[in-house]
Structure 1
Amino acid sequence: MISIETIDSCTIFRVTGDVTANEIIVEATRYLAGKQTDTSLWDFSLAGSVKISTVEMKGIAESLKLFQTDGQSRKVALVGSKTINIGLGKLFAAFAQIAELPHTYKVFRNFDDAMHWLGG
């Protein structure tokens, strides 16, 4: 499950339980199609498992590329406490760079460090 909360100029996506690539794409595209905040944070620290393949990870990056941007580069933090979630986050950041997504993605092991990097 993915819950969404906006605090000041940051949208926080909290992932709990099991999550699939499709659920991530649905929430990410819904966010990108609407009004975006200055920063966003995807918190996977409470996720039970992330059911996603390497091909699906690349597909998420390619899907996000289809959205028009306002020309502003934003910061996106990815938080995971388990080794596999950190690895998946780093893999996604690499795919995002290859896909030339306009935002800067960085992976963290805890929420507080991510919020500090985002400036909040």
Structure 2
Amino acid sequence: MFGIDAEKLFVLLIIGALVLGPDKLPEYAAKFGHLVRELRRMATGAQEQLRQELGPEFEDIDWNRLDPRQYDPRRIIRDALLDDPADVQRSPATKKTAAMEVPSPPQGLLPGQGVPFDSEAT
């Protein structure tokens, strides 16, 4: 409940009992119970009102499918760039897309190998 384990909840209850005292503790516990019941009633009423206003066609919606946490931006971009993902064969050297070939990043220089230089870029 709210990320609080049993020990912390027990310590909070003891502190609350000491601060409020035995005279006011039952009164505040009753107020808290009434607040919880009222919040549940309001939440149920809001759900029923939403169902009535949206109509029966919205009862069959799979809300988990619309959860933004399930989307992988890399998969979305890859699917958008590929014509048919089953037709493309990926090799470790290059990844082919519908529009261009994307080279894989260099693995590093071998001993004695010079740094790559592009004369057209300078």
TM-score range, shorter chain: under 0.3
Length-normalised TM-score, structure 1: 0.23
- TM-score between both structures, scaled by the size of structure 2: 0.23
| Structure with more of its chain in helix, by fraction | 2
Bigger fraction of residues in strand: 1
Higher relative contact order (CA 8 A, sep 6+): 1
